[in-house]
């Protein structure tokens, strides 16, 4: 990883929906330092293979993946990791960080990312 004083490349994605092969191809092609997933990442650890097992090691070793929940996630699993009201990031797996709604992340260039989250699904 680059030092805090060096600019880091950032890729923003959304609606991955657990398509880990697609995410891996994008990350291998673009090779960002940080990937920000703006919701609907597809965090369903009891239903589908978690990204930490599905993504190639060269992706997880190179790119930090920061995830904000969308309306298509296993929210109970995420709440178990980061209780409601917590704004602290939680490492779900090596290289994959859950950013609870309302949390922020400071960038090396002095900018700040706000993870605001999405809407609730109406079924």
Does a structural domain hold residue 66?
A: yes
**pLDDT for res 108:** 82
Domain encompassing residue 24: 10-115
Q: Tokens in use for 87? A: 């704004």
Q: What is the pLDDT of residue 122?
A: 58
In a domain, 93, yes or no: yes
- Name the nearest CA neighbour of 32 among 2, 74, 76: 2
pLDDT band of residue 22 (cuts 50, 70, 90) is very high
d(CA 98, CA 88): 9
Cα–Cα distance between 26 and 32 in angstroms, integer? 9
pLDDT at 79: 87
Six-digit token string for 11: 């890729």
| pLDDT tens readout for residues 51-94 | 988 999 889 899 999 999 988 889 888 888 887 778 899 999 88
Task: Count the domains in the chain.
Answer: 1
What's the mean pLDDT when you consider all of the chain?
87
Banded model confidence at residue 3, pLDDT cuts 50, 70, 90: low
Residue 121 lies in a domain: no
Q: Does residue 123 carry a pLDDT above 60?
A: no
pLDDT on residue 121: 59
β pairing state of 34-38 and 64-68: parallel
Identify the pLDDT of residue 32. Answer: 96
Per-residue pLDDT at 44: 92
Q: Is residue 70 part of a domain?
A: yes
Residue 27 is assigned to a structural domain of this protein: yes
Residue 2 is assigned to a structural domain of this protein: no
Residue 55 DSSP code: S
Give residue 81's pLDDT.
Answer: 87
| pLDDT value of residue 6 | 66
Residue 20 φ/ψ region, left for φ over 0, alpha for ψ in the -120 to 50 degree band, beta for the rest: alpha
């Amino acid at each position: 990883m680059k030092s805090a004083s060096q600019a880091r490349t950032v890729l923003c994605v959304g609606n991955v929906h657990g398509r880990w092969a697609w995410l891996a191809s994008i990350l291998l092609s673009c090779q960002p330092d940080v990937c920000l997933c703006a919701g609907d990442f597809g965090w369903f650890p009891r239903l589908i293979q978690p990204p930490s097992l599905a993504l190639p090691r060269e992706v997880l070793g190179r790119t930090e993946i920061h995830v904000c929940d969308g309306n298509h996630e296993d929210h109970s699993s995420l709440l178990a990791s980061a209780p409601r009201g917590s704004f602290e990031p939680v490492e779900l797996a090596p290289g994959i960080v859950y950013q609870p709604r309302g949390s922020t992340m400071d960038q090396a260039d002095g900018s700040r990312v706000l993870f605001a989250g999405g809407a609730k699904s109406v079924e």
